[in-house]
Amino acid sequence: MKKVFFYGDSNTYGYDPSFYTGGRYPRKERWTTILAKSLDGVWEVAEDGMPGRMIPGAGRGTSMVLDSLRGEMPMDLFAFMLGTNDLLSMRHPDASAVAAKMDNLISGAGKALSAEILLIAPPQIRFTDPSCTEPFVQGTEMYEQECLEQSALLARYYREIAARRGAYYADASSWDLKLAFDGVHLSVEGNIVFAAELAKVIRRI
């Protein structure tokens, strides 16, 4: 059986935004669990998701992440889905700056990990009226539009990185995903669709 390891943020963790203290969807409702069942007998699925996680900086930050991932070997595939928190941490979201950090990580992973790499562009940020009350939203219409546009642009940059670095690519921003009320995290229905779409990608690898 082949093995895949997903390294991501709160959407890999299975974060449920209805719990403001760090709640998590039940295991059976997370896309990682649904995906594992879908790929049963072919792929073993493991994950490391952390709310708030951003792409590590060049140098020691990247080295620490890659050292940690080496500890998960042997693996056939490492999948990275990060970038949302990087955009949200910026006063003016800049997809090119986020992509530069991801390019460094994927480049390092390709050299350090004896496995294939899958780069996943995260779901597009789509703020709603209720989400504007969230602490990570600055509350201006311009900021909301910038997040929407830059998260879409990030997918294009990630596609270019994957092609340049010889990695597989999946564009979750193009999938018909239902997000929770905050416009950032996957809903229960979104987890189901995410798993179904990602299963199609994994089966082709």
Pairing state between β 43-49 and 2-8: parallel
129, 131, 137, 141: CA torsion to nearest 10: -20
Examine residue 56 and say whether the peptide bond preceding it is cis (omega within 30 degrees of 0): no
What is the span of the domain harbouring residue 9? 2-203
Cα–Cα dist 83/89, whole Å: 10
Q: What is the pTM of this model?
A: 0.93
What residue type is assigned to position 195 of the chain?
A
What are the tens digits of pLDDT across the range 40-75? Answer: 989 999 999 999 999 999 999 999 999 999 999 999
CA distance 176 to 120: 15
In contact, 147 and 87? CB cutoff 8 Å: yes
- CATH no. for residue 79? 3.40.50.1110
pLDDT digits (tens, 9 = 90+) for 134-189: 555 545 567 778 888 999 999 999 999 999 999 999 999 999 999 998 889 999 99
pLDDT in tens, 122-138: 999 987 655 554 555 54
- Crossing angle of the two packed helices 95-112 and 60-70, in degrees rounded to 10: 50
Pair 129, 135: CB distance under 8 Å: no
Q: How many structural domains comprise the chain?
A: 1
